[in-house]
């Protein structure tokens, strides 16, 4: 019975070590990705400017990143809406000129 318990304890220790290693790797990857987002968004550490030399991004939370992505997506939709409205205005002007030309031609 003790032999089985020691095997189980050893296997649990091995599994625990593997999980701790995996957690450490995932945390490193998370930090790397958050720094890359910070670099892409231009988020630098407090008090540092772009003229100070090397860009040293701050480490944002995932919530900050998702909020910024949401803002960017919202701005993109807004710009697309404005672009669509402007295109519709141009089309109506084109149609107005075509109708006026046809109306003038019909009156002559």
Q: What is the pLDDT of residues 16-47, one digit of tens each?
A: 999 999 999 999 999 999 999 999 998 887 76
* Higher-scoring residue by pLDDT: 11, 108: 11
pLDDT of residue 36: 93
pLDDT of residue 47: 64
Query: What is the value of pTM for the model shown?
Result: 0.64
**What backbone torsions phi and psi does residue 45 show, to the nearest 5 degrees?**
-65, 150
Cα–Cα distance for residue pair 20/18, rounded to 1 Å = 5
The two structure tokens encoding residue 65: 């990143």
- The secondary structure of residue 50, as a DSSP letter, is G
Confidence bin at 56 (pLDDT 50/70/90): confident
Q: In the block, which residue shows the tokens 């490193």?
A: 28
Return the bridge partners of 44, or none: 57
* 36, 59 contact by CB (below 8 A): no
Task: Indicate whether 3 pLDDT > 80.
Answer: no
pLDDT of residue 42: 86
């Amino acid at each position: 019975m003790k032999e089985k318990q020691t095997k189980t304890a050893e296997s649990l220790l091995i599994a625990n070590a593997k999980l701790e290693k995996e957690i450490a790797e995932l945390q490193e990857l998370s930090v790397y990705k958050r720094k890359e987002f910070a670099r892409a968004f231009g988020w630098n550490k407090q008090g540092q400017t772009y003229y100070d030399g090397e860009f040293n991004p701050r480490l944002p939370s995932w919530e900050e990143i998702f909020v910024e992505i949401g803002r960017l997506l919202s701005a993109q939709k807004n710009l697309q809406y404005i672009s669509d409205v402007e295109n519709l205005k141009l089309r109506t002007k084109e149609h107005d000129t075509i109708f006026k030309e046809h109306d003038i031609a019909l009156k002559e």
